[in-house]
Structure 1
């Protein structure tokens, strides 16, 4: 009996040891620290899924591309500044070599140029989070830093899944503060986008081509401060998205939701509980839009979009798109359908608090607190 008992204990110990040995090891995640004078890109390239690249306070003159999933790029607040690298002056060839150099340039010019994908820096962007045509990059976070003075975009995401941009100060970039295309399940939260040439926050299905609306899969744009841009938030040809609890002021237009004749149609999204105040900056017309001034929330060519519980005040202008909440038939002639404007508080907007130039009768205006509408009877 004693021998059997000892054998039983030995077998049990062996089984326990085997079970423990089979348990998977927990992956250790690293924090890679970047100090002034060091390269952020080198640290990002060295990072593995789950790692954090922590960028200490200082000014870094570079663009950064993230392609690895589940990487976090984080600064220590607006003291971490990312700006464009200084342009290097090209040396001119001298003497006899100049003729040969000119001949080479001439031969290259005579050939049909090949389309080469631009790098993040060549595209004029600060931070790029990039997937591919066949695979989205997942779970990347960009947080707590300032991106400024880039000729195109501060933070740009393409083909991303679960991208988080949080606590970013996107200032004075040539086109967009924070932008993304072909992306799903994004969270853009607690950012400050100001002084950008076009939209503070820009979201689209695709930028380079016309196409039907893209399912953004519950992307959320929330608690951002958007000031002094051409447009605070632009949502172009997307569905299944929320713009909520943002402060939008001092832009030419506050919130712009854009659709067109392509199918599926843009819409099936929410614009809710935002403060949209005094967007009275004046902006010249572009190829796509007339001159802008005094537009609060604009829907054009959308369907099944709900605009609710927003505070919209003091937006005043004489543009075709001016007014508090404006439903405007798209510029390609497509009417908005089944949009719902309800429970908003509006005041001192001009030419009216509620404006509709839509010809369809399926849009509804209910329980809004306002004084004037165009046409009359919408309040």
Structure 2
């Protein structure tokens, strides 16, 4: 975005406001257009709350940080592509000190604060690919919307968020990312209790060929609905541990989870992954309902259609409801419950053939 373009839209807003005699220039919303060869970051820096930064089709080699409330960053669809700047070295999120979005190896960063959330930012209709860490990274936000974003082939996560509330992740595609296609957590660096997201929605996303399609870690009060999760090592992970409050009070429903049979080697936290559909570990009061889970096969302790797994730190899964799901062709079983009967987990009305232990179908 050049000064000429920014000036043009500012002047246009003033003229329209003066002509109509109704809206003062300071209150009007602008559209700042960015074309190939121009800087997205300069336009974002010039934007005020309520403005839209419209990025035209083309390839842009930069990382972009949004810190202004109410800004919309919108592309022209998958033809608007963000790729890493040349000669970028990633600095992991866990390193002490403050690093820029580019230094952290991220494509787009939406950054608020722990004590003062950044509200009402939208990122939509563009592609982020090839970044060393994450395609779209957000922290300390409220009512962030990420929609129709394609996040492919990033080193760790496709789209990720922490310390945030009331987010909407709708209609995105995440493929071939090193860890989760979509990753939502309370805190990626510290051990602490689950955060109340106040109704975050994960809806209608396509998550394919990642290590894990979707990870929800140490969160409460959110919904995961109508997503297509295909060809990952594991489909959906809802993860908790011994910290309080616990992960749970959330819903996983109406998702199509199929053939997540890619092989991924073990890590310091998990055994090897292969053939896992929906896994709950260390969770409570989670409703898993009306999902279609098919074609999973593997020999990992986490393999199976819908799996309740006692976490490696000893946290049990308790009072979860697995109901009215359609399961077929999953091995070692469609339903796997590794918790004791006294844990209060309920399996009702599921359509399936085999379970471990028997009698859950």
Corresponding residue for residue 84 of structure 2: 84
Task: Tell me, in whole angstroms, the C-alpha distance in 2 between the residues paired with 1:116 and 1:176.
Answer: 21
Q: Deviations over 1:33-83 (max 9, x none)?
A: 000000000000000000000000100000000000000000000000000
Query: TM-score under structure 1 normalisation?
Result: 0.86
Corresponding residue for residue 288 of structure 1: 269
CA contact (8 A) 2:88 2:102 kept: no
Corresponding residue for residue 235 of structure 1: 216
Task: Tell me, in whole angstroms, the C-alpha distance in 2 between the residues paired with 1:42 and 1:208.
Answer: 31
CA contact (8 A) 2:88 2:103 kept: no
1:172 aligns with 2:153: yes
CA contact (8 A) 1:335 1:360 kept: no
CA contact (8 A) 2:88 2:105 kept: no
Task: Tell me, in whole angstroms, the C-alpha distance in 2 between the residues paired with 1:323 and 1:282.
Answer: 14
- CA shift in 2, pair 1:378/1:72, >3 Å: same
- Which of these residues, 218, 237, 247, is aligned with residue 199 of structure 2? 218
Unaligned runs of 5+ residues in structure 2 are: 1-20, 90-94
> How much does 1:133 deviate?
2.6
- Which of these residues, 316, 340, 345, is aligned with residue 335 of structure 1? 316
Specify the SS of the correspondent of 1:355.
strand
Corresponding residue for residue 318 of structure 1: 299
Task: Tell me, in whole angstroms, the C-alpha distance in 1 between the residues paired with 2:336 and 2:240.
Answer: 18
Task: Tell me, in whole angstroms, the C-alpha distance in 2 between the residues paired with 1:161 and 1:76.
Answer: 25
- Which of these residues, 353, 356, 361, is aligned with residue 374 of structure 1? 356
> How much does 1:297 deviate?
0.1
> How much does 1:24 deviate?
8.4
Task: Tell me, in whole angstroms, the C-alpha distance in 1 between the residues paired with 2:307 and 2:159.
Answer: 24
Task: Tell me, in whole angstroms, the C-alpha distance in 2 between the residues paired with 1:36 and 1:239.
Answer: 41
> How much does 1:330 deviate?
1.0
Corresponding residue for residue 279 of structure 1: 260
Corresponding residue for residue 128 of structure 1: 109
Q: Deviations over 1:266-300 (max 9, x none)?
A: 00000000000000000000011100000000000
CA contact (8 A) 1:193 1:201 kept: yes
CA contact (8 A) 2:118 2:141 kept: yes
Task: Tell me, in whole angstroms, the C-alpha distance in 1 between the residues paired with 2:96 and 2:180.
Answer: 28
Task: Tell me, in whole angstroms, the C-alpha distance in 1 between the residues paired with 2:22 and 2:107.
Answer: 45
CA contact (8 A) 1:178 1:201 kept: yes
Task: Tell me, in whole angstroms, the C-alpha distance in 2 between the residues paired with 1:353 and 1:88.
Answer: 45
Comparing 357-366 with 304-313, greater Cα deviation is found at 357-366
Task: Tell me, in whole angstroms, the C-alpha distance in 2 between the residues paired with 1:23 and 1:149.
Answer: 43
Q: What are the equivalent positions in structure 2 for 1:94-133 lying under 5 Å apart?
A: 115-133=96-114
> How much does 1:311 deviate?
0.2
Corresponding residue for residue 147 of structure 1: 128
> How much does 1:25 deviate?
8.2
- The number of residue pairs the alignment matches comes to 335
> How much does 1:27 deviate?
1.8
Task: Tell me, in whole angstroms, the C-alpha distance in 1 between the residues paired with 2:43 and 2:26.
Answer: 23
> How much does 1:368 deviate?
0.1
Task: Tell me, in whole angstroms, the C-alpha distance in 2 between the residues paired with 1:231 and 1:88.
Answer: 26
Corresponding residue for residue 30 of structure 1: 30
Specify the SS of the correspondent of 1:45.
helix
Task: Tell me, in whole angstroms, the C-alpha distance in 2 between the residues paired with 1:198 and 1:365.
Answer: 30
Specify the SS of the correspondent of 2:27.
coil
Task: Tell me, in whole angstroms, the C-alpha distance in 2 between the residues paired with 1:86 and 1:367.
Answer: 54
Specify the SS of the correspondent of 1:65.
strand
Corresponding residue for residue 234 of structure 2: 253
Unaligned runs of 5+ residues in structure 1 are: 1-20, 90-113
Corresponding residue for residue 45 of structure 1: 45
